[in-house]
Structure 1
Amino acid sequence: MGAWGPGPLDNDTALDWQDALLRAATPADRAVVIRDALAAATTTGYLDYDLAAEAIVAALVVAASMPGGQALRSSAGLPEEADGIPVAAGTPALALRALDRIVADDSEWRALWSDSPQLYAEALASLREIREPLEAG
């Protein structure tokens, strides 16, 4: 695992997914990439770390587009190219379900971060920052 910090973009998987998102041809294609990442994280069974990391960035992009979420863009390090992605009805709710799944007992993301209580607390704090605009929106 190429993780070096508890933030949403502090790992290689998240950065690779962000690059794939930005390479999508149109804003509509980007919206599909986001929904696919969020949906993949809401499936049943053990949640793989890579799927969780991708869903966290997808949720971050959605949250940054919500009223009150613009500050997330710069604090998390999202590039300007992540602007202008249409957020379809239901996508914020899907993002919240994905975030819930990521911190559930059967998540590799949770298992890996919970090995270090301080880093786990920091990782959870970064997820709370993403949740706030999603819940308010």
Structure 2
Amino acid sequence: MGTWDFGPFDNDTAADFGGDLDEAALKERESVIRGVPKRAAAPADYLGIYDGERAVAAAALVVAQHPDGESACSNYGPSEPLPELPADLRMLAVDALDQVVSDRSELAELWAEAANGPKWRQDITRLRDVLDPPIPSQEETLF
């Protein structure tokens, strides 16, 4: 893996994706972003590492525009402005993240063997929870 940390843009593939977005015309950037989680969320026997890394980066961009989100772009993310992303991308990003951490994901396999694997998984969970917050159990709401 050309990876230097566990953040969404902390690998070569995601950094290249950020560059691709910068090179795309402003009106095309939403389509470029949409294509990534759409591909990752599509039914498949196996999700390759590059599709997984791009899906995490795209999800981070969607999270960054969510009212409860935070900027996820490091120095390696896109530097050009992004259009306002439509709300329907949120659930598409959730579906893609679910595939990224599934047992059919090369990226999840590789992170399972890495020292920072638990931190990576925790970061994916954080992104997912912004887009689709977990429903608190009845016990949690009582306290």
User: 1:1-137 counterparts in 2 under 5 A?
Assistant: 1-26=1-26, 28-43=27-42, 44-69=44-69, 71-73=70-72, 76-77=74-75, 78=77, 81=80, 83-116=81-114, 118-136=115-133
Report how far residue 51 of structure 1 moved.
0.3
Secondary structure of 1:72's match?
coil
Point out where structure 2 has 5 or more consecutive residues left out of the alignment.
134-143
Point out where structure 1 has 5 or more consecutive residues left out of the alignment.
none
Q: 1:72 to 1:129 in 2, by over 3 A?
A: farther
Q: Tell me the amino acid that sits aligned with residue 116 of structure 2.
A: L
Q: Distance in 2 between matches of 1:30 and 1:129?
A: 24
Confirm or deny: 8 A CA contact 2:21 2:78 kept in the other structure.
Answer: no
Confirm or deny: 8 A CA contact 2:8 2:72 kept in the other structure.
Answer: no
Q: 1:58 to 1:73 in 2, by over 3 A?
A: same
The number of residues matched between the two structures is 131
Percent of residue pairs bearing the same amino acid type: 34
Q: Distance in 1 between matches of 2:55 and 2:78?
A: 17
Report how far residue 68 of structure 1 moved.
1.6
Q: Tell me the amino acid that sits aligned with residue 25 of structure 1.
A: A
Q: Which structure features the higher share of helix residues? A: 1
Report how far residue 79 of structure 1 moved.
5.0
Q: Distance in 1 between matches of 2:64 and 2:100?
A: 19
Aligned CA RMSD, in angstroms, stands at: 1.7
Report how far residue 134 of structure 1 moved.
1.1
Q: Distance in 2 between matches of 1:80 and 1:19?
A: 8
Higher gyration radius (CA)? 2
